Amino acid sequence: MLQVAQIRAHKEAYIEALKKRNYDAAPVFENVLQLDETRRSTQTTLDATLAESNKLSKEIGLLFKSGETEKANQAKEKTAGLKETTKNLQEKLNTTVTALTKLLYEIPNIPHNTVVAGTSEEDNEEVFRAIDFPNLEENALPHWELAKKYDLIDFDLGNKITGAGFPVYKGKGARLQRALIAYFLDKNTQAGYTEYQVPLMVNEASGYGTGQLPDKEGQMYHVTEDDLYLIPTSEVPLTNFFRDVMLNENELPQKLTAYTPNFRREAGSYGAHVRGLNRLHQFDKVEIVNVTLPEKSYEVQEEMLSHIKNILKELHLPYRILRLCGGDLTFTSALTYDFEIYSAAQERWLEVSSVSNFETYQANRLKLRYKTNDGNKALAHTLNGSSLALPRIMAGILENYQTPEGIKVPEVLKPYTGFSIID
C-alpha cells in the first residue's frame, strides 16, 4: 500500500498518475490526510497524558513518604481522571488507525511513468513480437479437439469429479505437463532462483500482504471454517516469506521459484475463447519472485523479461509482449508486461505470463525492509512473474506442433518426456 508520507509529499502527482487507472484519488487522499492528522494529534495528546500520569504517580509516592497525605490523595484523584482520558484517547487512536489502514488498503498502486492511460486490454501497448507461425494444415484442430483425439486431457471426467474448469490430464498429456514443470523449474534454478515447495493455502495476513485481499477476495477459494485461502499463485506464499522481515543490503536480491497448482474462482463467460485450457479454476504454474533494492528493480524486471523470452524461444512458440495500460494493471502493480503466445489453430493470442514490478507497494504491506550498509532502513522492491503458466503453453504446443502424423514434441522437452511425438 502507499505510504502516508509519500501521499503528503506527492499528492498532486499521485492524483494525476492514478487517473491513468481511471481512479479519482483526490477525495480519498483528503480523507487519508485528515485521518493521519487526527492520528498524529491524538498520539501527541496521548503521549503527553501518559507522561503526566507517570510523573504524578512518582510524585504520589514521595508525597505519602513526606506525610503530605491530602496532596497525595488529590494527586491520586487527578491520576484516576488521567487514566480515563488515556483510555478514551487510546480507543480514539485505535479507531483512527484502523480506519486509515482500511482506506490505504483500498488505494491501488501508482502506475510507472511509462504506463499509458486506458480502460481495458484493448489499450495495452505491444512492445515486442517474435513471430514464426507454423504451416498448419487447413483442417488444423484447436487443442480441446486434439486432447480428445489423442486422449491427452479429459475435460468431461474433471467436470464429473469436481466441475467445469478442473481438467484431468492423462497418459502422454500428463507426461507432457510434468515435463513442462520440470523444464521451467530447471531453467529458473539455472538462472539463480532457489526452488521451494510451498503450502497451497495461506492465512488472511498473507493475502493482505501481497494484495490479494481485500481486492480479489471474491476470486479466491475460502476455507471458511479455518479461515484459509487456496492460493491463486505461488507469489503469495513466496513473497510472504519476507513478511515482518528485516534483511541486510548484502542479502539482496532474493530470487525464488516454485511450482504449484493454483486456484481461482473466476472463470469468465462461456464461449470458444474460454474453451478447453483457455481459462480454468485449477491450473499449474511455475512462478519466479524477486526481492531487490529499489534502484535495481527495473533492471531486474528487464532480466526477468529476457529470461522468459529465452524459454519461449527454446519452445519455438510465436509470442509477443504487451505493456499494460493503466486500466488493465493489477491493483498492486506499478508496471506489468504480459507475454502472449499465438494459437495458430484458434487464431488468437493467449496470455501465458505476467511480469510485474510492485515497487514498495507490497513491501509496505508486508513490512519488508532492509538495512542499508550505512545503517539506514528502507522498504525493498518486490517483483514476480509467471515462468510459466502451463495451460495455455500446453494449448500452444498442441496446436502449433500438430502435423498429419501427430503432435511433435518441442526439441527442448524431449529429454523430459521420453518421446518425440504424440500419435
Q: Which residues pair with 244 in a beta bridge?
A: none
Question: pLDDT by residue (tens digit) across 44-103?
Answer: 999 999 998 888 877 777 777 777 777 777 777 788 888 899 999 999 999 999 999 999
Q: Which residues pair with 23 in a beta bridge?
A: none
| 319-323, strands of its sheet edge to edge | 125-130, 319-323, 335-343, 348-357, 381-389, 282-292, 254-263, 194-196
Of 348, 356, 299, 298, residue with least CA distance to 320: 348
Percent of the chain predicted with pLDDT > 70: 98
Cβ contacts of 185 within 8 Å, gap of 6 or more: 195, 257, 259, 286
In the three-class reduction of DSSP (H, G, I as helix; E, B as strand; rest coil), residue 279 is classed as coil
DSSP string, 72-125: HHHHHHHHHHHHHHHHHHHHHHHHHHHHHHHHHHTSPPPPPTTPPP-SSGGGPE
| Number of other CB atoms surrounding residue 58 within 10 Å | 9
CATH 1.10.150.120 holds for 4-105? no
In angstroms, the CA 395 to CA 359 distance is: 33
Q: Residue 411: pLDDT band by 50, 70, 90 thresholds? A: very high
Instruction: Say if residue 355 carries a ligand binding annotation.
Output: no
Question: pLDDT by residue (tens digit) across 166-197?
Answer: 999 999 999 999 999 999 999 999 999 999 99
For β-strands 406-408 and 335-343, DSSP reports them as unpaired
Instruction: Say if residue 287 carries a ligand binding annotation.
Output: yes
Which pLDDT value is given to residue 345?
87
Q: Residue 272: pLDDT band by 50, 70, 90 thresholds? A: low
Q: For the chain, what is the largest distance between any 2 Cα atoms, rounded to a whole number of angstroms?
A: 107
Cβ contacts of 295 within 8 Å, gap of 6 or more: none
In angstroms, the CA 305 to CA 386 distance is: 10
Cell match 481486492: residue? 215
Instruction: Say if residue 53 carries a ligand binding annotation.
Output: no
Which CATH topology does 121-422 take?
BirA Bifunctional Protein; domain 2 (3.30.930)
The mean pLDDT value of the chain amounts to 94
Q: Phi, psi (5° rounding) for residue 386? A: -80, 130
Interval 205-213 mean pLDDT: 96
Question: pLDDT by residue (tens digit) across 248-259?
Answer: 999 999 999 999
Question: Which of 65-69, 117-121, 152-156 shows the lowest per-residue confidence on average (mean pLDDT)?
Answer: 65-69
Is-same-fold flag (4-105; 121-422)?
Answer: no
Question: pLDDT by residue (tens digit) across 279-315?
Answer: 999 999 999 999 999 999 999 999 999 999 999 999 9
Interval 186-214 mean pLDDT: 97
Which pLDDT value is given to residue 387?
97
Domain residue spans of the chain: 4-105, 121-422
Cα 346-352-355 angle, rounded to 5 deg: 150
Percent of the chain predicted with pLDDT > 90: 85
CB 153 within 8 A of CB 169: yes
pTM summary value? 0.93
Instruction: Say if residue 264 carries a ligand binding annotation.
Output: yes
Which pLDDT value is given to residue 141?
95
For β-strands 369-371 and 246-248, DSSP reports them as parallel
Which pLDDT value is given to residue 273?
62
In angstroms, the CA 420 to CA 423 distance is: 10
In the three-class reduction of DSSP (H, G, I as helix; E, B as strand; rest coil), residue 287 is classed as strand
| 222-223, strands of its sheet edge to edge | 201-203, 228-230, 222-223
Instruction: Say if residue 68 carries a ligand binding annotation.
Output: no
Interval 141-155 mean pLDDT: 97
Instruction: Say if residue 353 carries a ligand binding annotation.
Output: yes
Instruction: Say if residue 405 carries a ligand binding annotation.
Output: no
For β-strands 246-248 and 228-230, DSSP reports them as unpaired
Which pLDDT value is given to residue 271?
52
